[in-house]
Amino acid sequence: MARRAVIEVQNVSKDLKMGSNVIHVLQGLSFSVQRGEIVSIVGPSGSGKSTLLGIIGGLDVPTRGHVLIDGVDISRMNEDRLTEIRNEKIGFIFQFFNLIPTLNALENVALPIEFARKPQYPPMQRARELLRLLGLGDRMHHLPSQLSGGQQQRVAIARALANDPPLLLADEPTGNLDSAASETVLNTLERIRREVGTTIVLVTHSRELAERADRVLTLVDGRLVGVEVAGD
């Protein structure tokens, strides 16, 4: 039996107006992501990778086309409903962390659990487990300003996993990490996919990371120019 598509991108385009000019950031993209897949999006800087990830996650709106999450079209959804979808279904790993500077690592990770309508876990217990899993057991009570860039990135990853979302979107999840920390993150992502069935879509410049996905989508100038099964 075929797996159900958790993401459907249907003829999505994104235009930006710059004065009298129109920049075509994305141009007619169509693809689907099956439940439990890891899919990487690669391409040169400026190819539209992060814009596409934002549209899939409901942080941006396509100019044309549709995005369906679990069969529900989020493309023109109001902000209140989008917020519910994001809280219930999507975990984000942002390229620039987006940690709250006045909260320590433990509090940053616990926060999305405290905001959940139906929390699955005790917030602090879950936060401790995730931080230990990512090698930050001795950094739980540090503020973001007291952490290295790589440590902040791992806190951001732990926060994205806090509510055990069925869909995880990651923008350069290993971009600020050394090789050992990168391996920890990659193993963690593969583990949650294997054990929980999480669907993962990630943007990366790392060919090594891309090739550990099930499929690799290549964007150039806002167009989908290649889809390959990793390892082929």
* pLDDT at residue 197, rounded to an integer: 87
Q: What pLDDT does 3 receive? A: 60
Amino acid, single-letter form, for residue 109: V
Query: Which of 40, 7, 43, 38 has the alpha carbon at shortest distance from 27?
Result: 43
How many CA atoms does the CB half-sphere of 38 hold within 13 Å?
Answer: 20
pLDDT at 207: 82
Which tokens is 58 given?
């409901």
Q: State both tokens at 171.
A: 């923008």
> Pairing state of beta strands 199-203 and 38-42?
parallel
Q: What is the pTM of this model?
A: 0.86
Judge whether 228 and 221 are in contact, CB under 8 Å. no
Strands 223-229 and 72-73: unpaired
CATH numbers and ranges of domains, the chain: 5-229 (3.40.50.300)
Of residues 190, 191, 198, the one with CA closest to residue 163: 198
Residues 6 or more apart whose CB falls under 8 angstroms from that of 120 comprise: 113, 126, 163, 164
Strands (E), 19-135: 21-34, 38-42, 64-69, 72-73, 90-93
Q: What is the pLDDT at residue 19?
A: 87
Give dist(CA 112, CA 33) in Å, integer. 25
Tens-of-pLDDT digits for all 232 residues of the chain?
A: 456 789 999 999 999 998 889 999 999 999 999 999 999 999 999 999 999 999 999 999 999 999 999 899 999 899 988 888 888 889 998 878 899 999 999 999 999 999 887 788 999 999 999 999 888 999 999 999 999 888 998 899 899 999 889 899 999 888 777 888 788 878 888 888 888 889 999 999 888 888 889 999 999 999 999 888 865 5
Residue-level pLDDT at 1: 40
CB 98 within 8 A of CB 170: no
